[in-house]
Amino acid sequence: MTTETRKPQESHQTLWDISVPGRSGVRLPESDVPVQPMPDAALLREELPLPELSELDVVRHFTRLSQKNFSIDTNFYPLGSCTMKYNPKINDMVASTPGFSGIHPLQPEETVQGALELMSNLQDMLQEITGMPASTLAPLAGAHGELSGVLMIRAFHEQNGNPERKVMLIPDSAHGTNPASASMAGFDVVTVPSDDQGNMDLKALEAVANDKLGGLMITLPSTLGLFDPGIVEVCEIVHEAGGLVYGDGANMNALLGRVKLNDLGFDVVHLNLHKTTSTPHGGGGPGAGPICVGDKLTPFMPSPVVERDSEGGVESFKLVSPPNTIGTLSAGHGNFGVLVRSYAYLRALGAGGIRQASGDAVLNANYLLKRLEHLYYLPYDRICMHEVVFSGRWQKAQGVKALDVSKRLIDYGVHPPTMYFPLIVEEALMIEPTETESKETLDAFVDVMIAIAQESGQTPEVLTEAPHNTPVGRLDEARASRQPDVRYRA
Amino acid sequence: MNDVFPHSYFPHTQAQRAEMLAVVGVGSVDELFADIPERFRNPEFHLPPALTELELGRELGGLAKKNAVPGEYASFLGAGVYRHFIPSVVSAMISRGEFLTSYTPYQPEVSQGTLQATYEFQSLICELTGMEAANAGMYDGASAMAEAALMACRITDRDSVMVLDTVNPRYRAVLDTYLLPQGITINTVSLSDLVVDETTACILAQYPNFYGGIEALGDLADTAHQAGALLSVSANPVALGMFKAPGDYGADIVSGETQPLGVSMSFGGPFVGYFTCKNEYIRQMPGRIVGRTVDHEDRIGYVLTLQTREQHIRRERATSNICTSAALIATGTAVCIAALGPGGLRQMAELSYQKAHYAASVIGAVDGYEVIDDGTWFHEFVVKCPQSSKETTKKLLLRNIIGGLDVSDSVPNGMLFCATEMNTMTEIDALADALGQIAKGS
């Protein structure tokens, strides 16, 4: 691996740099209706300062941009807690058929029965996977599902005459969206510590589980990649104090076909369909964050829910609003295009397939754990679930940070793991290989991690100056923040 | 329970699994799940049987065929979601695996593609809206309007908002979901009853409004600013191809649904909301923002910036809980605007204007139908029909026409019809003919 291969900066031009007045990338037909009088000119704009490009200009510009990305299709991408598994191409293909991609959300219900049937079937499958009796596909992303879930918990307490239950407990290992969502729903966030095994500290939990308790938001497996064996007791403590349990399903890939969250005591759980069911992450969305709901919270679900009607032997489907709904979350019915892909994925796998997915995902993470634990410090020395969290503290002693290890991985063609999260692990490196990566890829990754560990001791500057062969080196983030330049100006 | 399920998505051979289990030091994959309480481990899962790719195509194709597709049916539905021409370059670009299968650009050195495309999206949206700063996108137009209201409350430290009654009722409903739990008062008012005082954080208006009307944004901005409140506008980006930009009227926050520009209707999602504001408010914005900077050798590059506003840093004190949003759709919109250019976008807007006004003129000429045509409007218009909107919708459908939206809750027998450049004169004339026949009872 050489370190001096960065090319001189080519093609960082923006759309404006390549614009030539008079060009256009689209031609539309002339109007075929009699000319209608235009509105008062004072209401119209004169200038429309947009770039002018030919069709090929557009294609070449964005194609070149795309080539500056690492992606699942091009690179191993073990970004922890993001479940970067292979996104099957058939799913994109079916989602783009006109019968799905071309329909309007407000069409009469009898003209969209196929779409509603698909959504109803998907609700059924997600309910089976979680064991929950009800679900809605309305939330547009994981954090949107969280917001819905905590709003439902709030509505539940208010309806039961307990509006003072305004405390939401959140473990110290939680993803930042949990406290942010709880806060948006009007809860006061109280943090609960983890014990030395990475599990929830039950004594600490009991100490804060009182009559002000609204609920607990917990990720299972945790963001440490660990299944908390005390999870049933955790749910019981919360329930006994009158609270409800929200399950963040970000890490559901570990549990597919292994356990039903309803059995463990969860009252509501969201699933990140873009993670667990392989829909493309798109550089930061779109996702989908359906929620599966237990009996207590079913009346409060966000609207809409798809209802199946079998009256008279003829099946039909309609969108309904739960009786005490917390309301709607968007102008639509959910991210339908994502739901189609998710449905296709679950139909491709069935019960046996999802079980194989979690099995191989967990096997892969444990394989990396075993092969790397002698080189990278393992803060929780136990069997992990779908991801393994190392600490870069041994490297830090050599003057190399987790950031440097991550940046060096780029030189070897690997997307870095999630860094510095969870916050309770010093110099965290969170690695999630997923089930779709082969042993060959994992072995190659292990070789790279071994090489980097050696470099850390012998030539640390190679790491601290990495990456060396990307279009740009480490960027000045302080300057970006101090002097925000968030749009092009001619 | 050590049965193996072979699938093209799973690369391991049985021999490899055995090898890896030996390295891990367990006898079976099941042993890795020993932390799950035994009484709950391995329940039965009843899912439909697995399908091969060939069967999957059939199964989903069958479901797709049960839907009526606008284009095959003449369609005059709008009401927040619009059928416009989408250049083929849009799907070609966002189907590229490098855009499609990457994630949030946490590592800028290997995400310059997504980052620059997002920066260009922000820039294009700023030009369209006449605003100074934009973020990387929200879930959709409705949640963007709700986040704009929350942002206005943070900026003004006030807890009441004024929503014009011409705002899309679906957007209005989302305001309830987002604002009420935070103790914010929402007042829905008509333009003539609008009063703004020292408790008002913002006026929320739509441009064009739900019924197609072009609101007088200049007056609204003055009214808001005189009371120390903000004007937040949700604007249709295609309308901005011809109508004056909200920023030019003094709007403080402009957001909207990007769907009309390059995003397929897809039964309502995934879409992307855009979000802009004046520079002075940038640190109160929700969501991700991409900024331009340099590396140590002065090469230009792009990063996620102003991240201390966000949930992963600020946690319960973040400006929003939003994390994964709709980056791919934003990239698609950038491709679409780049392809259309100023000429194409203006033409798309003007064609839509022409077709919709032609449709209004021919429907208005049919006995029994009254077009409500007061002031300037774009995209859509309300028609009072001689029969119930439900009945009219049903009878149009029998003629392979998807009619306008039933708005009889605000206008008796009212339907909101929309036309764009996608509707031909033949289709529009056929709609008028059909309405004529329906009025006569057939």
Q: Is B194 within 8 Å of B226 (Cβ atoms)?
A: no
Based on the fold, state whether residues A378 and A404 are members of the same structural domain.
yes
- In the DSSP assignment, the letter for residue A7 is P
Contact state of B354 with A33 under an 8 Å Cβ cutoff: yes
Based on the fold, state whether residues A130 and A181 are members of the same structural domain.
yes
The CATH number covering residue B319 comes to 3.40.640.10
Residues 6+ away with beta carbon under 8 Å from A17 = none
Based on the fold, state whether residues B99 and B150 are members of the same structural domain.
yes
Q: Which of residues 245-264 of A touch B (CB under 8 A)?
A: 255, 257-260, 263-264
CA nearest neighbour of B249 among B216, B201, B210, B275: B216
> Within 13 Å, how many C-alpha atoms sit on residue B177's CB side?
34
Q: Which of residues 46-85 of A touch B (CB under 8 A)?
A: 48-53, 55, 58-59, 61-63, 65-75, 77, 79, 82, 84-85
Characterize the bridge pairing of strands B289-294 and A316-320.
unpaired
CA nearest neighbour of A61 among B43, B331, B305, B100: B331
Based on the fold, state whether residues A327 and A413 are members of the same structural domain.
no
B202: β partners = B161, B230
A102 located within any domain? yes
Q: Is B312 within 8 Å of A143 (Cβ atoms)?
A: no
CA nearest neighbour of B414 among B388, B377, B436, B393: B388
B209 located within any domain? yes
* A485 burial level (CB within 10 Å; 0-12, 13-18, 19+): middle
Characterize the bridge pairing of strands A418-419 and B160-164.
unpaired
Contact state of B109 with A348 under an 8 Å Cβ cutoff: no
pLDDT of residue A2: 44
Count of CB atoms situated within 10 Å of the CB of B38: 8
Cα gap B411→B372, rounded to integer Å:
10
Q: How confident is the model at residue B41 (pLDDT cuts 50, 70, 90)?
A: very high
Based on the fold, state whether residues A224 and A133 are members of the same structural domain.
yes
pLDDT tops 90 at residue A23: yes
Q: How many domains does chain B have?
A: 2
Residues from chain A that touch B56, judged by Cβ atoms under 8 A, are 90, 94, 344, 347-348
CA nearest neighbour of A247 among A291, A309, A287, A211: A291
Q: Is B64 within 8 Å of A97 (Cβ atoms)?
A: yes
Based on the fold, state whether residues A321 and A382 are members of the same structural domain.
no
Q: In degrees rounded to 5, what are phi and psi of residue A39? A: -70, 170
Based on the fold, state whether residues B277 and B129 are members of the same structural domain.
yes
Residues from chain A that touch B334, judged by Cβ atoms under 8 A, are 15
End position of a domain, from candidates A347, A379, A401: A347
ipTM of the complex: 0.98
Q: Which of residues 345-364 of B touch A (CB under 8 A)?
A: 345-348, 350-351, 353-355, 357-358, 361
A11 located within any domain? no
pLDDT of residue A47: 86
Contact state of A283 with B111 under an 8 Å Cβ cutoff: yes
End position of a domain, from candidates B336, B367, B395: B336
pLDDT tops 90 at residue A477: yes
Cα gap B36→A231, rounded to integer Å:
9
End position of a domain, from candidates B310, B336, B362: B336
Based on the fold, state whether residues B153 and B272 are members of the same structural domain.
yes
Contact state of A487 with B323 under an 8 Å Cβ cutoff: no
CA nearest neighbour of A342 among A286, A392, A403, A418: A286
**Number of residues that this document lists for chain B:** 442
Q: Is B263 within 8 Å of B238 (Cβ atoms)?
A: no
Q: How confident is the model at residue A5 (pLDDT cuts 50, 70, 90)?
A: low
pLDDT of residue B71: 87
Residues from chain B that touch A284, judged by Cβ atoms under 8 A, are 103-105, 114, 136, 288, 324-328
Contact state of B93 with A25 under an 8 Å Cβ cutoff: no
Based on the fold, state whether residues A159 and A302 are members of the same structural domain.
yes
Cα gap A293→A273, rounded to integer Å:
16
Whether chain A has a CB inside 8 Å of the CB on B240: the answer is yes
Cα gap A59→A57, rounded to integer Å:
6
Cα gap B73→B78, rounded to integer Å:
14
Characterize the bridge pairing of strands B273-277 and B253-257.
antiparallel
Average model confidence (pLDDT) across chain A: 96
Residues from chain B that touch A55, judged by Cβ atoms under 8 A, are 87, 89, 339
Cα gap B112→B105, rounded to integer Å:
8
B135 located within any domain? yes
Cα gap B434→B155, rounded to integer Å:
52
Q: Is the peptide bond before A39 cis (omega within 30 degrees of 0)?
A: no
Residues from chain B that touch A264, judged by Cβ atoms under 8 A, are 37, 40
CA nearest neighbour of A275 among B103, B272, B47: B103
Mutate to test the interface with B, among A33, A52, A403 (most CBs of B within 10 A): A33
* Amino acid identity at A461: E
Helix (H/G/I), strand (E/B), else coil: A93: helix
Nearest CA-CA distance, residue B119 and chain A, Å: 6
> Within 13 Å, how many C-alpha atoms sit on residue B387's CB side?
15
pLDDT tops 60 at residue B29: yes
A478 located within any domain? no
Based on the fold, state whether residues B225 and B372 are members of the same structural domain.
no
A184 located within any domain? yes
Mutate to test the interface with B, among A40, A234, A330 (most CBs of B within 10 A): A330
Q: Is A106 within 8 Å of B266 (Cβ atoms)?
A: no
Helix (H/G/I), strand (E/B), else coil: B74: strand
| Parent domain of B372 | 74-84+342-439
pLDDT of residue B434: 98
Cα gap B209→B166, rounded to integer Å:
6
- For A10-74, the DSSP string reads -----TTTT--TT--S---PPP-SPPPPPPPGGGB-S--------HHHHHHHHHHHHTTB--TTT
The CATH number covering residue A446 comes to 3.90.1150.10
B37 located within any domain? no
Measured CA to CA in angstroms, residue A200 lies from A170, A209, A220, A237, A336 at distances of 10, 13, 11, 12, 36
Count of CB atoms situated within 10 Å of the CB of A82: 24
Torsion over CA: A32, A33, A34, A37 (sign): negative
End position of a domain, from candidates A320, A347, A374: A347
Q: Is A317 within 8 Å of A120 (Cβ atoms)?
A: yes
Nearest CA-CA distance, residue A454 and chain B, Å: 22
Based on the fold, state whether residues A440 and A339 are members of the same structural domain.
no
Contact state of A31 with B292 under an 8 Å Cβ cutoff: no
pLDDT of residue A6: 53
Based on the fold, state whether residues B146 and B248 are members of the same structural domain.
yes
Q: Average pLDDT, stretch A396-421?
A: 97
Mutate to test the interface with B, among A27, A30, A103 (most CBs of B within 10 A): A103
Cα gap A244→A216, rounded to integer Å:
6
Q: In degrees rounded to 5, what are phi and psi of residue A91? A: -65, -40
Cα gap A470→A69, rounded to integer Å:
10
pLDDT tops 70 at residue A21: yes
pLDDT tops 60 at residue A7: no
Cα gap B319→B356, rounded to integer Å:
40
Q: How many domains does chain A have?
A: 2
| Parent domain of A266 | 91-347
Nearest CA-CA distance, residue A418 and chain B, Å: 9
CA nearest neighbour of A365 among A346, A390, A393: A390
A67 located within any domain? no
Q: In degrees rounded to 5, what are phi and psi of residue A428? A: -65, 140
End position of a domain, from candidates B336, B361, B378: B336
Residue carrying the six token digits 């284009």: B71
pLDDT of residue B310: 87
Q: Which of residues 94-123 of A touch B (CB under 8 A)?
A: 94-108, 110-115, 117-118, 121
Query: Number of CB pairs < 8 Å for A and B?
Result: 695
Torsion over CA: B284, B288, B291, B294 (sign): positive
Based on the fold, state whether residues B173 and B131 are members of the same structural domain.
yes
CA nearest neighbour of B322 among B158, B173, B114, B178: B178
Instruction: State the first-to-last Cα distance of chain B, in angstroms, to the nearest integer.
Output: 64
Q: Which of residues 44-63 of B touch A (CB under 8 A)?
A: 45-53, 56-57, 59-63
**Contacts by B431-434, CB closer than 8 A, 24 or more apart:** B431/B74, B431/B76, B431/B359, B431/B362, B431/B363, B431/B396, B431/B401, B431/B403, B432/B359, B432/B362, B432/B363, B432/B365, B432/B366, B434/B395, B434/B396, B434/B399, B434/B401
The CATH number covering residue A280 comes to 3.40.640.10
A69: β partners = B111
Based on the fold, state whether residues B239 and B379 are members of the same structural domain.
no
pLDDT tops 60 at residue A4: no
A35 located within any domain? no
Helix H, strand E, coil C: the string for B3-60 is: CCCCCCCCCCCHHHHHHHHHHHCCCCHHHHHCCCCHHHCCCCCCCCCCCCHHHHHHHH
Buried residues in A258-283 as b, exposed as e (16+ CB within 10 A): bbbbbbbbbbbbbbbbbbbbbbbbbb
Based on the fold, state whether residues B233 and B308 are members of the same structural domain.
yes
Cα gap B18→B153, rounded to integer Å:
59
Based on the fold, state whether residues A335 and A367 are members of the same structural domain.
no
Q: Average pLDDT, stretch A126-154?
A: 98
Count of CB atoms situated within 10 Å of the CB of B70: 21
Characterize the bridge pairing of strands B185-189 and B160-164.
parallel
Based on the fold, state whether residues B304 and B359 are members of the same structural domain.
no
Residues 6+ away with beta carbon under 8 Å from A145 = A139, A249, A270, A271, A272, A289, A290, A291
Count of CB atoms situated within 10 Å of the CB of B46: 10
Based on the fold, state whether residues A429 and A285 are members of the same structural domain.
no
pLDDT of residue B442: 80
- In the DSSP assignment, the letter for residue A386 is S
Based on the fold, state whether residues B330 and B366 are members of the same structural domain.
no
Based on the fold, state whether residues B325 and B179 are members of the same structural domain.
yes
B39 located within any domain? no
Q: Is A227 within 8 Å of A220 (Cβ atoms)?
A: yes
Give A309-367 pLDDT, tens digit per residue: 998 889 999 999 999 999 999 999 999 999 999 999 999 999 999 999 999 999 999 99
Give B247-294 pLDDT, tens digit per residue: 999 999 999 999 999 999 999 999 999 999 999 999 999 999 999 999
Average model confidence (pLDDT) across chain B: 97
Based on the fold, state whether residues A337 and A446 are members of the same structural domain.
no
Helix (H/G/I), strand (E/B), else coil: A489: coil
Cα gap B206→B220, rounded to integer Å:
11
Give B339-366 pLDDT, tens digit per residue: 999 999 999 999 999 999 999 999 999 9
Q: Average pLDDT, stretch B114-124?
A: 98
Mutate to test the interface with B, among A59, A86, A106, A126 (most CBs of B within 10 A): A106
pLDDT tops 50 at residue B1: no
Based on the fold, state whether residues A314 and A450 are members of the same structural domain.
no
Contact state of B316 with A340 under an 8 Å Cβ cutoff: no
B8 located within any domain? no
Cα gap B36→A226, rounded to integer Å:
10
Based on the fold, state whether residues A419 and A368 are members of the same structural domain.
yes
Based on the fold, state whether residues B145 and B218 are members of the same structural domain.
yes
| Nearest residue in B to A443, CA atom | B20
A263 located within any domain? yes
pLDDT tops 50 at residue A466: yes
Q: Average pLDDT, stretch A232-249?
A: 98
The CATH number covering residue B386 comes to 3.90.1150.10
Share of chain A above pLDDT 90, in %: 96
